[in-house]
């Protein structure tokens, strides 16, 4: 069955549900890692002396010194209680053992954070680097078969996370990799349904992008359920079963074997028009019918010219694929995306660490702000829509400009705003204050929604349409490189006392350098417009 032809609205709504429930749950890493640390993943990596130091800070015990406490902690961790300690030491042993249990889950441990962050970095890098292969698979196997393959991949991923435990923590790596790449594949196949409504294509794509970010709330729901007594394992088993039912049904009933293309949408539109015409024929004069058909054809031609004007110009480009990839415009765009994607994945990867440092390792407040972050990012739908509307408004504004200005000028304002959001997020991380957390979360929500929306829309407008698939793969490759770089950034962040400030300065300088991309685009447009005016005069 290919019900998308008969029920296009239901198909789009179903796609919305799929993305919001399963698309980008990997980006709810901050909530998931909080649960994993409470369960004791990689707790054995922590040094006993770190635990002792935490006990010294959190316990107010009279007549004891650091060496005595350290000795008892080290002996207690090996289940040995010394009988040679002083009487004051014996009196505090019971209190220390209670503090050991409580502190193990709440103390800050660099080694534990590093191990968990390594899996996240690998998963994000694998997700984006592997997306080039996903595009090729969609092209060869078609939409339905591709979705069937990645349904299996996603189920394997969720079950791997479900059955991961402190004894077999390595299951997190394949689990995160599978849900990352499969979630992105679901987004890619669902983006095709935007072709059913050409007039609303940009808006629908923006909504999909926002919902992909929104889906990180699922990890927060898992965290809340864990705090309510529901084990992580059962939550992920439920997600696995729910995913299999929802996505399996739409794959078999809605999506075609091939692709949902714009011609299919146009044929559906023309069929609806013919049905309307048949109903109105009895009321129309025969002499008016040719005029009505002419008006409809003119309207269709104007609509196609408006929505595809850039594509027609792009198809006539004489540049080869190699020349396009090596052009300054393409290289600067890939650099722009790589830098800001690094800011994106670094913020998510360091979120738990940053909150612990800002909130003085208070687990209850950290948990509260992780929840707040998830709820604020639910606004990604609205911010993505605003980005889509802004881009479309800029396109209409420059529709009567020269061909180059039609392609490049609309992206300048959205691209500059993306840079502003990115810089604002980094600046907020300099200030260790509870108030700045709210502003950082809001800026990051705007930033994450606009980043990939602007990046993808630009390659669709500014480069030959025949190269879109290849260029989109290179965009994902650049994002994957950023995901892999995130881990050494994390190691640097924890290397020495002032490392966090130095990391923020480094990222800030990188972000500022990306301003060269919109500046060069603006200069090109100004020169082209000036040349056009001189030639006409």
Closest CA to 74 of 100, 110, 102, 43: 100
Phi, psi dihedral angles at 165 (to 5 degrees): -150, 170
Return the pLDDT at 426: 94
Asked whether the beta carbons of 113 and 88 are under 8 A apart, the reply is no
Q: Which two tokens stand for residue 423?
A: 């810089």
Helix axis angle, 172-190 to 131-141, nearest 10°: 50
pLDDT of residue 261: 64
Under the banding of pLDDT at 50, 70 and 90, the label for residue 64 is very low
Among 69-78, 330-339, 439-448, the least confident range: 69-78
Predicted pLDDT at 48: 60
CA distance 61 to 90: 12
Q: Are 380 and 484 in contact (CB under 8 A)?
A: no
Q: What is the pLDDT of residue 459?
A: 86
pLDDT for position 378: 83
Q: How far is the CA of 48 from the CAs of 74, 94, 167, 362, 363, in angstroms?
A: 6, 18, 19, 20, 20
Per-residue pLDDT averaged across 352-376, rounded? 88
Q: pLDDT exceeding 70 applies to what percent of the chain?
A: 75
Q: Does the pLDDT of residue 134 top 50, yes or no?
A: yes
Tokens at 61, concatenated: 């015990």
The Cα–Cα gap between 518 and 28 comes to: 31
Nearest to 256 by CA among 467, 456, 8: 8
Return the C-alpha torsion angle 133, 491, 366, 238, nearest 10.
30
Residue range 134-157: mean pLDDT, rounded: 88
- pLDDT of 107: 56
Q: How far are the Cα atoms of 79, 420, 442 from residue 459, in angstroms, in the given order?
A: 62, 21, 27
pLDDT for 178 beyond 70: yes
Q: Tell me the average pLDDT across 304-317.
A: 45
Residues whose CB falls within 8 Å of the CB of residue 99, separated by 6 or more in sequence, listed in order: 55, 58, 59
387 burial level (CB within 10 Å; 0-12, 13-18, 19+): buried
Beta bridge partners of 151: none
Quickly tell me which residue has 């990012």 as its tokens.
Answer: 377
Residue 108 pLDDT class (50, 70, 90 cuts): low
pLDDT at 343: 94
**How large is the C-alpha radius of gyration of the chain?**
28
Predicted local distance difference test score (pLDDT) of residue 309: 45
Sign, CA torsion 393/399/401/404: positive
Picking from 444, 478, 475, 479, the residue whose alpha carbon sits closest to that of residue 457 is 475
Q: What is the pLDDT of residue 536?
A: 67
CA 177 to chain centre: 14
Separation of alpha carbons 268 and 260, rounded Å: 12
> Which has the closest alpha carbon to 108: 421, 345, 361?
361
- pLDDT for 324: 87
Q: What is the mean pLDDT of residues 415-426?
A: 95
CA distance linking residue 134 with residue 127, whole number of Å: 10
User: Which range (76-85, 247-256, 502-511) has the least confidence?
Assistant: 76-85
pLDDT for residue 125 is more than 80: yes
Mean predicted confidence (pLDDT) in 464-489: 83
Alpha helices (H) along 316-327? 321-325
Does the domain spanning 320-537 belong to CATH 1.10.1280.10?
no
Residues contacting residue 108 through CB under 8 Å, at least 6 positions apart? 54, 356, 361
CA nearest neighbour of 334 among 455, 451, 446, 423: 455
- Rounded CA-CA distance 211/191 in Å is 12
- Indicate the domain borders of the chain: 1-56+107-267, 320-537
Q: Is the pLDDT of residue 74 over 70?
A: no
pLDDT reported for residue 83: 40
Tokens 């079963």 — which residue?
Answer: 241
> For residues 496 and 488, is the Cβ–Cβ distance under 8 A?
no
Which residues, in sequence order, are CB contacts of 360 under 8 Å at separation 6+? none
Highest mean pLDDT among 2-16, 71-85, 136-150: 136-150
The answer to whether 314 touches 464, Cβ cutoff 8 Å, is yes
Quote the mean pLDDT of the chain. Answer: 78
Architecture field, domain 1-56+107-267: Up-down Bundle (1.20)
């Amino acid at each position: 069955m290919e019900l998308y032809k008969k029920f296009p609205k239901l198909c789009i709504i179903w796609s919305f549900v799929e993305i919001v429930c399963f698309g980008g749950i990997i980006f709810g890493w901050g909530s998931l890692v909080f649960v994993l640390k409470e369960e004791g993943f990689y707790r054995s990596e922590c040094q006993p002396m770190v635990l002792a130091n935490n006990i010294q800070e959190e316990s107010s015990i009279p007549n004891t010194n650091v060496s005595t406490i350290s000795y008892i902690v080290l002996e207690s961790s090996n289940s040995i209680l010394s009988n040679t300690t002083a009487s004051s030491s014996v009196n505090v042993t019971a209190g220390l053992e209670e503090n050991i249990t409580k502190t193990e889950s709440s103390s800050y441990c660099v080694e534990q954070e590093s191990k968990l962050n390594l899996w996240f970095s690998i998963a994000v890098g694998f997700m984006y680097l592997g997306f080039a292969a996903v595009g090729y698979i969609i092209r060869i196997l078609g939409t339905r078969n591709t979705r069937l393959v990645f349904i299996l991949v996603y189920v394997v991923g969720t079950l791997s996370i479900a059955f991961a435990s402190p004894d077999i923590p390595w299951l997190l790596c394949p689990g995160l990799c599978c849900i990352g790449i499969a979630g992105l594949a679901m987004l890619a196949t669902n983006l095709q349904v935007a072709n059913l409504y050409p007039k609303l294509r940009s808006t629908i794509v923006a909504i999909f992008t926002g919902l992909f970010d929104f889906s990180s709330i699922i990890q927060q729901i898992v965290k809340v359920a864990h705090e309510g007594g529901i084990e992580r394992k059962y939550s992920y088993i439920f997600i696995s079963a729910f995913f299999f039912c929802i996505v399996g049904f739409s794959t078999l009933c809605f999506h075609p074997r091939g692709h949902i293309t714009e011609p299919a949408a146009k044929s559906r539109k023309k069929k609806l028009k013919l049905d309307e015409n048949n109903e109105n024929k009895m009321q129309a004069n025969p002499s008016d019918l040719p005029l009505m058909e002419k008006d409809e054809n003119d309207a269709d031609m104007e609509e196609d010219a408006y929505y595809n004007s850039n594509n027609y110009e792009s198809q006539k480009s004489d540049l080869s694929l190699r020349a396009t990839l090596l052009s300054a415009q393409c290289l600067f765009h890939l650099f722009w995306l790589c830098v800001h994607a690094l800011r994106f994945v670094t913020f998510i990867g360091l979120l738990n660490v940053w909150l612990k440092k800002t909130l003085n390792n208070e687990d209850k407040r950290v948990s509260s702000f992780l929840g707040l972050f998830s709820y604020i990012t639910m606004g990604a739908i609205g911010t993505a829509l605003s980005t889509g509307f802004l881009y479309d408004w800029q396109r209409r504004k420059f529709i009567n400009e020269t061909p180059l200005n039609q392609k490049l000028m609309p992206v300048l304002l959205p691209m500059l705003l993306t840079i502003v959001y990115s810089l604002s997020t980094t600046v907020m991380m300099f200030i260790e204050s509870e108030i700045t957390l709210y502003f950082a979360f809001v800026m990051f929500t705007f930033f994450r929604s606009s980043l990939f929306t602007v990046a993808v829309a630009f390659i669709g407008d500014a480069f030959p349409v025949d190269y879109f698939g290849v260029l989109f793969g290179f965009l994902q490759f650049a994002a994957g490189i950023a995901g892999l770089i995130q881990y050494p950034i994390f190691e640097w962040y924890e290397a020495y006392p002032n490392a966090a400030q130095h990391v923020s300065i480094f990222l800030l300088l990188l972000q500022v350098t990306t301003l060269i991309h919109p500046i060069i685009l603006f200069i090109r447009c100004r020169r082209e417009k000036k040349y056009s005016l001189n030639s006409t005069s």
